[in-house]
Amino acid sequence: MQPRETQDLPHRTGMTQLRLVTRGLAAFVGACAVVVVLAGGISIAFFPASRQVIDLQSGKRIFAARCASCHSLEEAAGPRYGPSLHRIGREGGNRIDGMDAEEYIFQSIVDPSAYQAPGSTGVMPENAANGLSDDDLLSLTAFLCQQGGSVRYSNLLQLPNKIPRRMAAGSVDLELDSVERGRKLFLGKLNCAKCHSLDPIPGSDLLAPTLATAGRHSRSYLEEKLLSPSKHITPGYEFWTATISGVSHSGRRLPAPAGMTRLLISDGDDIRVRDFKDDKLDREDDGPALYRSGVSPMPPCDGAVSKEERDAVLDFLTTLR
């Protein structure tokens, strides 16, 4: 008979191996847990835990639907009511000391009167963010940050709680009869639709800016445009006068090849585009051959309608979103 210790040896060896394997597995699991915790910590540092959803494609769609009628993303785009947002993702971070691009863009949307872009003359509607959820605002901001820059999500996700929305001026109760009366005045007596389209389709703003989204502006701003249209002329819609061979031609100036002046001339129902060679234009006393009138072609409406009719037109315009 073999000694008892010798008989137990295989059993004890197996137990020892089992303990070693178990300890090794525990060490491996522990190491994995450390890696997971570290990875989670790093992830949270760059992408904080949040229920917000940021969708760049959604931001692009929102821009096209709500912003593109005034703002272009092209560097050499034609005149729009608002400034070009080409490379705003980079330039936005350089405009206000201590403010990054995410914060600058987000605040410009939710509080449009907080800042005005250099060289801008337009007035962004105070209620530009109305109807947009926090997810919509973050998606739109992220899309704009990508124009010449990149998105820092850890900065972006903090903004809805950091920057409150600006509340637009008190609302006005509208009566359906007044809105309908204003629509008829717009299309009929005042003949506003001859120049101002209610269609956002590109090309419908040839003679004057489209009013398809006029209701996003404040009522006081719209009233000022009706009473004093020359006070703030939308960039690109100023009237210019060129004189050649003693005959003056006035119209909206359009982009033209170098050495040329191109005017969109409207005379009643006749609309035409004329090109003039700059070296053929008449000059008087060595002055400029091309003059900007500084007067809007749109006549003030105060003499054309009563105050009640003007209020009805304003009621109609405020419904256009």
Token representation of residue 71: 């703002």
Mean of pLDDT over the chain: 80
Residues 230/235/236/237 CA torsion (nearest 10 deg) = -20
Record: fold of 56-162: Cytochrome Bc1 Complex; Chain D, domain 2 (1.10.760)
Mean pLDDT for the stretch of residues 292-317: 89
The residue that leads in pLDDT, 198 or 51, is 198
For the beta carbon of residue 76, count every other beta carbon within 10 angstroms.
Answer: 8
User: Model-level pTM?
Assistant: 0.57
- Residue 167 confidence (pLDDT): 61
Q: What's the pLDDT band for 6 if we cut at 50, 70, 90?
A: very low
| Chain Cα centroid distance, residue 83 | 9
Q: What's the pLDDT band for 23 if we cut at 50, 70, 90?
A: low
pLDDT digits (tens, 9 = 90+) for 211-249: 888 887 888 889 999 999 998 888 788 889 998 888 889
Least confident of 29-33, 109-113, 191-195, 250-254: 29-33
Mean pLDDT for the stretch of residues 295-304: 86
Task: Report strand pairing: 270-277 vs 290-292.
Answer: unpaired
In terms of Cβ atoms closer than 10 Å to its own Cβ (0-12, 13-18, 19+), residue 140 is buried
Written in H, E and C, the secondary structure of 214-229 is HHHCCHHHHHHHHHCC
Mean pLDDT for the stretch of residues 50-63: 88
Show me where the domains of the chain are located: 56-162, 176-229+300-317, 239-292
